[in-house]
Amino acid sequence: MKIIGINAFHADSSACLVVDGKLISAVEEERFNRIKHWAGFPINSIKYCLKSSNLEISDIDHISINIDPKANYFKKFLFLIQHRPSLNLIFRKIKKKQKYNSIINLIDKEFGSRKFKGKINHIEHHYAHLSSAFHVSPFKEACILSVDGFGDFASTAWGYGQNEKISIDQKIYFPHSLGIFYQSMTQYLGFKNYGDEYKIMGLAPYGKPTYVNDLKKILLIQEKGIFKLNLDYYKFYKENFNYRWENGIVEIDDLYSNKLTELFGIERKKTEPLNQFHKDLAHSTQKVYEEAFLNILHNLYNKYQSDNLCIAGGCGMNSVANGKIKNQTKFKNIYIQPAAGDAGGSIGAAYTTHFKNLNNKRSFQMKHAYWGTSFNDNEILECLNKNNQKIIDEKCTFEKITDDKTLNSTVAKAITEGKVVGWFQGRMEWGPRALGNRSILGDPRRSDMKDILNLKIKRRESFRPFAPSILREHVKDWFENDDEVPFMMKVYQIKENKRSEIPAVTHVDGSGRLQTVYKETNQKYYDLINEFYDLTKIPILLNTSFNENEPIVSNPKEALECFLRTKMDMIVLNNYLVTRQNN
């Protein structure tokens, strides 16, 4: 059975292909159209999934989307009676529902005579999230949790997974949402773009929990994992509130009401310098979020007594909170797939459809994140030749180094000299993290490396940390927690006596958002880090995403253009090495 899973008309539009229970490919639409968090229909992603497996749309048995307009009807009706939202809000919801019902027309329009002959399936949003984590996890049984902003009129769902079956015990419905709580505080602190919540995580360690009690007036944490928003502080659920996805670009009005500014004062403007108040409020926001999040987890463990936990939903990207689960709950094993947010719902939609056939048994585990585009040496050489004059104009040269050992030795030595290297290899990562195939690499030993990267390439806020990629077998020597973190989804404390050795990847609170690297899943990246280890006795490289205020690069042309317009010193495209002279 061949299934295309999609997340469409929602942020982080994506598609995946599952064949007979095995994931074949998965990719986000933003990598093709170059618009971050694209929220339209993922037609380019669908075409990639088909092309990469030599399939036509007529070969597909099912197209499954991670939204079900019929879900939670009673709760929607009850909300209308109780809150009487504006007619404009109701109209937009109806218009959005019509988009979901137009999928077959969009498919037929794009593929013409090769028409889709299969079935369209609508999968409830949080069920798809839970499936996206549990059905590809290594666990036969686990507690399961989905937490995000909203989907199908719910923000949170939890329960239990066993073999192929998922049971949902509890949901928290609109308008109450941990994701909305966090996003509203992100907006208040001056970070207005969709997906900016990670900036609050980076800023929080600079502050103190000064405003925890104030924030607990806004987010009301109750027994048995339940929480509610104090709706006096919000306007998104009833007023003429703009939550637009026009042309696939996400635009969201402020979620909070004037009562929040009465409590904390005028919101921070985007260009306003960050002061201690802003840092303390970020810290307090993270702390209150963690309390509500851990409250759910304690409740889940008490009910099922399972050592295993799977997490999905946009809040599953809160790596700081995830890093506290092992130390502050009784869960021993945690699995969070690399696209935990809405993009990952495409995988959950596909696997939910697959397991509707009761004869299908679980046989696949997602052990790595490399499910996207890839390019052979001929394609890379063609790109280099086409852009040869631009390469010469930038005082760069290129060569092919066929021996991997020689290539790794050359690159590792350059990194020890403080050079910044673009590393473009194999299949592109699934999810928002660069995990060694579309990465920019640097020396973690240099205290000035963060400034170098921001000056040459990133030009981002100085408070945001860079990540350490570490050989798995060395984690116990460098971090307080010895754990599997293949997808960079947890933040752990770096051992105190090691922090001074890797200042470029040590955050102000002594933490690091690590990626554990394995020879079995990415040998080329593993070997490069190992070469750096042989030279320096440091089994770690600084790793950040290969981009410049844009989606992560997808193809050689985008990678080369990013290299040429920035001040990167070197780029490695498979085994082709492009070097900037006298940088």
Strand order in the sheet with 62-65: 22-28, 14-19, 2-7, 62-65, 119-122
Nearest alpha carbon to residue 108 among 155, 169, 60: 60
pLDDT digit string, tens, across residues 309-336? 999 999 999 999 999 999 999 999 999 9
What is the model's pLDDT at position 79?
Answer: 75
Contact 316, 340 (CB under 8 A): yes
- Structural element, H or E, at residue 492: strand 492-493
Contact 25, 371 (CB under 8 A): yes
> Over 70: is that where the pLDDT of 83 sits?
no
Query: What average pLDDT score do residues 104-123 get?
Result: 89
pLDDT digit string, tens, across residues 251-276? 899 999 999 999 999 999 999 999 99
Contact 577, 398 (CB under 8 A): yes
Q: What is the widest separation between alpha-carbon atoms in the chain?
A: 70
Look up the pTM and report it: 0.95
- Tokens 């889709």 belong to 116
Instruction: Say what the alpha-carbon torsion angle 526, 528, 529, 535 is, to the nearest 10 degrees.
Output: 140
What is the model's pLDDT at position 75?
Answer: 81
What is the model's pLDDT at position 357?
Answer: 83
Contact 467, 545 (CB under 8 A): no
What is the model's pLDDT at position 93?
Answer: 57
Contact 317, 198 (CB under 8 A): yes
φ, ψ at 497 (rounded to 5°): -75, -5
What's the pLDDT band for 88 if we cut at 50, 70, 90? Answer: low
Contact 370, 431 (CB under 8 A): no
Contact 468, 541 (CB under 8 A): yes
DSSP-derived secondary structure letter, 474:
G
Residue 402 token pair: 């066929």
> Over 90: is that where the pLDDT of 486 sits?
yes
What's the pLDDT band for 115 if we cut at 50, 70, 90? Answer: confident
Task: For residue 42, count other CB atoms closer than 10 A to its CB.
Answer: 30
User: Parallel, antiparallel, or unpaired for β 570-573 and 438-442?
Assistant: unpaired
Top pLDDT among 555 and 112 is at 555
Task: For residue 571, count other CB atoms closer than 10 A to its CB.
Answer: 25
Task: For residue 133, count other CB atoms closer than 10 A to its CB.
Answer: 28
pLDDT digit string, tens, across residues 2-47? 999 999 998 999 999 999 999 999 999 999 999 999 999 999 999 9
Nearest alpha carbon to residue 572 among 557, 555, 559: 559
Query: What average pLDDT score do residues 181-199 get?
Result: 97
Alpha carbons within 13 angstroms on the beta-carbon side of residue 91 total 7
Cis omega before residue 175 (within 30°)? yes
- Give the whole-angstrom CA distance, residue 151 versus residue 118: 25
- Give the whole-angstrom CA distance, residue 488 versus residue 507: 15
Mean pLDDT of the chain: 94
Nearest alpha carbon to residue 125 among 36, 64, 197: 64
